[in-house]
Amino acid sequence: MIFNKARMSDIRSKNPSVLFSEIAKMVSEEWKNLSADKRKKYLKKEEEAKKQYILDLAEYNNQKQKHNLSNGAETAGKQAEKSGEVPKTKAEKKAEKIARKL
């Protein structure tokens, strides 16, 4: 996706009148012809971006959950808080799973 986005904007700027579908074909052809080393670099960047997205999403969901709890919303988290447990959000669990793979 990172390669696609970078190449599409570059091709679009050089060929403003070309249709999107034609640009997509050009980018696809470039990807097919890209060396394994260069592909690897883009795939690594994508993997890093995906990990960062998951961590950011977990943080966002934590903040959202804390906000809901502070506003008195009765949630599973609040019920667990009463019993002394602190449940993890799906995003937190997913982020931990990815972190363990690293």
Q: Same domain, yes or no, for 22 and 51?
A: no
33 vs 93: which has the higher pLDDT: 33
Average pLDDT for 76-99? 70
**Per-residue pLDDT band at 1 (split at 50, 70, 90):** confident
Number of domains composing the chain: 2
Domain assignment present for 71 = yes
Half-sphere exposure of 27 (CA within 13 A, CB side): 20
Tell me the per-residue pLDDT of 45-82, one tens digit each, with 9 for 90 and over. 999 999 999 999 989 988 887 776 666 555 555 666 56
Domain assignment present for 39 = no
What is the structure's pLDDT at 78?
Answer: 60
> Who contacts 47 (Cβ-Cβ below 8 Å, separation ≥6)?
none
Percent helix, strand, coil in the chain (nearest 5)? 80, 0, 20
Tell me the per-residue pLDDT of 12-42, one tens digit each, with 9 for 90 and over. 999 889 999 999 999 999 999 999 999 999 9
Give the tokens for residue 39: 């592909």
